[in-house]
């Protein structure tokens, strides 16, 4: 044993040594060591593409690491690669980023996947007692889930809770079998969770740790990490660049570790949840966009297609137009741009009655908890939500939203950056170039045939403009990291030079540097006269990026947040107040 410095007598729950992994020529992990003591919560931090997900996938047996690495779980050596689906037996349990649930199966079937309460071996499964056991488990964890419901019909929050409870329960079972240690691995667990459920998650994590298991908490959510972790391990480019006790490390230091000095003040402020009003519009937050602008200008098919073009306007000291109308009144834009989009009495999905106006040149934020209806708003406006009703005016179009479909919406100048990148945003096996330019293919027809050379050339330019790495548009989309994929999605829709951009969680699961870039690209578009509707549950982000913020609750616009400047705390309190008010109203109606 090498437990030299550690006081704990027990073997660490998890010990990884020299873990390396290559994908072709790309080094995803370069000899990473990781140690989790019993009862310890370790946060794994790093930007997209830093190797976090790869590490988790190696632990789950999804990837085979390069030879030479070592893994011990609770002191017992485990041969690498971890045999597929054997992680339960060795004491690892996972909440995967995509949750790993089968949508077509019921809650109870998902809960007990891979094991049975009764009917072990060849005896038939007794579904009634399985359901009873499931109910008992949910009761113990304090979650309300119907064991017979189909998982695909649950809300994302409920699905996340199910995955979390399942992982915790599997770990408990493992430990009940008189085994020591065990590790709960949570990969971005807070993405699907609204604030109130995060509290539940933190309680659960604390309980698991108090029982003597280890927890690996992989997250971009710095607030959550600060709240729950004892120690943070930071990866950058596949290498461990930091292993620090949370108590001894300031937020700024953590940010430096994660980002490697690439950030401006705004991103730091957004990250640590304290907005510094002066830093908010700091032009330095667009380090990549500005220098690339001059190269782009000559080749761009039209001025409105070059989001990097206004880069020079971001130069330090230049008063951005946004700054010009900064002292906005309550909820009303001061820029007085013309109305780009006007909606009245929009209903459908979870929306009940939404009316709003979106002005050219502004970023209008819509803040709401999951289930508030805000998540349906972009799709309803894009004509992609079946059964939506209401009146829309945009450009020359004025009519019912039911007359719109994604195609006609594009034609009148609306674009949508969807929230679910994997399911709605990209075709993973097709090339970056085709993904990026598939909405404007007609532009590349030369003499009756698509010019793949022209497509590639344009894609290369865009990769430069949007800092998409690697600069190889011929690669399949799946070869890119999440942040780069998201930039492709953004580029794809901005290519339409939309009058109105509907953005749903446009930086979800994206690292801080990319996030700052996305913000810069969006702002640049706004300056060129586009209007952006930004729907998000990330209030930090809304606070730093929006000109105006509306609060959505119970399928209606419940009010506006005063500002700018906005703060995350004020948005949070408005949103929760509105949600509570709405609930009370509805209960009254029932009475």
Partner 1 sequence: MTVDVEGAAPAAPPGAPPSRNGEPGRSWFARHGRLLESAMLPLAFVALVIGFGIHSPTHFLTLRNFSNIFGSQAVLFVLTIALLVPLTNGDLDLSVGSLSGLVSMIVAVLNVNDGIAIGWCIVIGLAVGLFCGAVNGLIVVRFNVNPFIITLGTGTVFSGIQEWLSKEQTIVGVSANLSNWTYNKQLLSIPVEFWYGIVIMLIAWYVLTFTPFGQRALFVGQSREVARLSGFNVPRMRLQGFLIAGFVAAISGVLFVGTTGSASPGTGTDLLLPAYAAAFLSLTTIQPGRFNAVGAGLSVYFLATGVSGLELLGAQDYVQSLFYGVVLVIAVVVSRLVGRRVDRGWR
Residue 264 Cβ, how far from partner 1 at the closest point, in Å? 20
Residue 248 binds partner 1, judged by CB under 8 A: no
Residue 295 binds partner 1, judged by CB under 8 A: no
Answer for which of 453, 580, 583, 584 binds partner 1 (CB under 8 A) is 453
Distance CA 381, CA 401 (A): 7
Residue 445 binds partner 1, judged by CB under 8 A: yes
Answer for which of 77, 152, 329, 474 binds partner 1 (CB under 8 A) is 474
Alpha helices in 311-354 (DSSP H): 321-324
Answer for which of 368, 425, 498, 555 binds partner 1 (CB under 8 A) is 425
Look at the chain and count its residues. Answer: 591
Kindly provide the b/e burial profile for residues 468-494, where b requires at least 16 CB atoms within 10 angstroms of the residue's own CB.
beeebbeeebebbbbbbbbbbbbbbbb
Residue 453 Cβ, how far from partner 1 at the closest point, in Å? 8
Residue 331 and residue 562 in contact, taking contact as beta carbons nearer than 8 Å: yes
Answer for which of 471, 573, 580, 586 binds partner 1 (CB under 8 A) is 471
Question: 249 to each of 33, 42, 295, 559, how far by Cα in Å?
Answer: 20, 14, 40, 38
Residue 27 Cβ, how far from partner 1 at the closest point, in Å? 8
**Stretch binding partner 1 (CB under 8 A), from 30-38, 219-227, 314-322, 429-437:** 429-437
Three-class SS of 235-288:
EECCEEEEEEEHHHCCHHHHHHHHHCCCCCHHHHHHHHCCCCCCHHHCHHHCCC
E strands, 158-251, are: 183-187, 214-218, 231-236, 239-245
**Stretch binding partner 1 (CB under 8 A), from 10-18, 296-304, 340-348, 474-482:** 474-482
Positions 67 through 126 that interact with partner 1 (CB under 8 A) = 81, 84
Answer for which of 102, 136, 450, 584 binds partner 1 (CB under 8 A) is 450
Positions 37 through 66 that interact with partner 1 (CB under 8 A) = 61-64
Q: Which is nearer to partner 1, 67 or 423 (CB)?
A: 423
Residue 475 binds partner 1, judged by CB under 8 A: yes
Tokens read off for 542 = 């809304």
Angle at 143 between CA 138 and CA 145, to 5 degrees: 75
Helix H or strand E segment including 57: helix 52-59
* Cα radius of gyration (the chain): 25
Convert residues 323-362 into a mask of x (bound to partner 1 by CB under 8 A) and - (unbound): ----------------------------------------
Residue 160 and residue 96 in contact, taking contact as beta carbons nearer than 8 Å: no
Residue 28 Cβ, how far from partner 1 at the closest point, in Å? 11
Residue 387 binds partner 1, judged by CB under 8 A: no
Residue 377 binds partner 1, judged by CB under 8 A: no
Interface with partner 1 (CB under 8 A): 23-26, 61-64, 81, 84, 382, 384, 405-410, 416, 418, 423-431, 433-434, 438-439, 441-442, 445, 448-450, 452-453, 456, 460, 469-475, 478
């Amino acid at each position: 044993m090498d437990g030299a410095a550690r006081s704990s007598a027990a073997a660490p729950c998890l010990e990884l040594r020299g873990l390396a992994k290559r994908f072709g020529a790309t080094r995803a992990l370069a000899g990473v060591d990781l140690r989790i003591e019993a009862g310890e919560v370790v946060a794994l931090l790093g930007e997209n593409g830093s190797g976090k997900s790869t590490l988790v996938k190696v632990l789950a047996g999804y990837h085979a690491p390069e030879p030479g690495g070592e893994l011990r779980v609770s002191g017992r050596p485990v041969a690498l690669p971890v045999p597929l689906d054997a992680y339960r037996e060795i004491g690892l349990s996972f909440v995967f980023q995509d949750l790993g649930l089968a949508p077509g199966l019921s809650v109870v079937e998902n809960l007990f996947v891979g094991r049975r309460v009764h009917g072990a071996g060849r005896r038939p499964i007794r579904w009634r007692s399985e359901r009873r056991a499931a109910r008992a488990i949910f009761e113990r964890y304090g979650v309300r889930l119907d064991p017979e419901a189909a998982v695909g019909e649950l809300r994302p929050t409920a699905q996340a809770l199910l995955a979390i409870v399942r992982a915790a329960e599997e770990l408990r079972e493992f430990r009940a079998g008189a085994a020591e240690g065990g590790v709960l691995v949570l990969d971005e667990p807070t993405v699907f969770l609204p604030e109130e459920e995060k509290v539940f998650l933190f309680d659960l994590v604390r309980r698991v740790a108090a029982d003597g298991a280890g927890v690996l908490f992989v997250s971009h959510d710095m607030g959550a990490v600060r709240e729950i972790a004892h120690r943070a391990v930071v990866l950058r480019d596949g290498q461990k660049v930091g292993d620090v006790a949370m108590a001894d490390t300031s937020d700024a230091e953590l940010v430096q570790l994660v980002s490697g000095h690439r950030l401006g003040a705004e991103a730091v402020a957004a990250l640590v949840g304290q907005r510094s009003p002066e830093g908010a519009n700091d032009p330095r937050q667009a380090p990549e966009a500005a220098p690339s602008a001059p190269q782009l200008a000559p080749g761009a098919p039209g001025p409105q297609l070059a989001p990097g073009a206004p880069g020079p306007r971001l130069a330090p000291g230049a008063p951005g137009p946004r700054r010009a109308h900064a002292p906005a009144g309550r909820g009303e834009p001061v820029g007085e741009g013309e109305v780009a989009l006007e909606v009245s009495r929009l209903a459908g999905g979870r929306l009940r009655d939404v009316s709003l106006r979106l002005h050219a040149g502004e970023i209008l934020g819509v803040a709401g908890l999951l289930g508030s209806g805000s998540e349906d708003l972009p799709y309803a406006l894009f004509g992609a939500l079946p059964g939506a009703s209401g009146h829309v005016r945009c450009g020359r179009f004025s009519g019912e939203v039911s007359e719109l479909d994604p195609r006609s919406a594009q034609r009148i100048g609306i674009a949508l950056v969807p929230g679910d990148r994997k399911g709605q945003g990209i075709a993973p096996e097709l090339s970056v170039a085709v993904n990026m330019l598939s909405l404007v293919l007609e532009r590349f027809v030369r003499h009756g045939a698509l010019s793949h050379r022209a497509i590639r050339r344009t894609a290369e330019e865009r990769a430069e403009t949007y800092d998409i790495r690697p600069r190889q548009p011929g690669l399949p989309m799946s070869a890119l990291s999440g942040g780069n994929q998201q930039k492709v999605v953004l580029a794809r829709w901005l290519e339409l030079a939309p009058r109105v951009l509907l953005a749903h969680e446009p930086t979800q699961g994206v690292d801080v540097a990319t996030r700052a870039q996305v913000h810069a690209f969006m702002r640049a578009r706004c300056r060129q006269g586009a209007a952006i509707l930004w729907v998000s549950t990330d209030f930090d982000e809304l606070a730093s990026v929006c000109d105006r913020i509306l609060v959505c609750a119970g399928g209606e616009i419940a009010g506006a947040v005063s500002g700018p400047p906005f703060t995350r705390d004020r948005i949070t309190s408005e949103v929760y107040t509105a949600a509570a008010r709405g609930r009370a109203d509805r209960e009254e109606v029932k009475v």
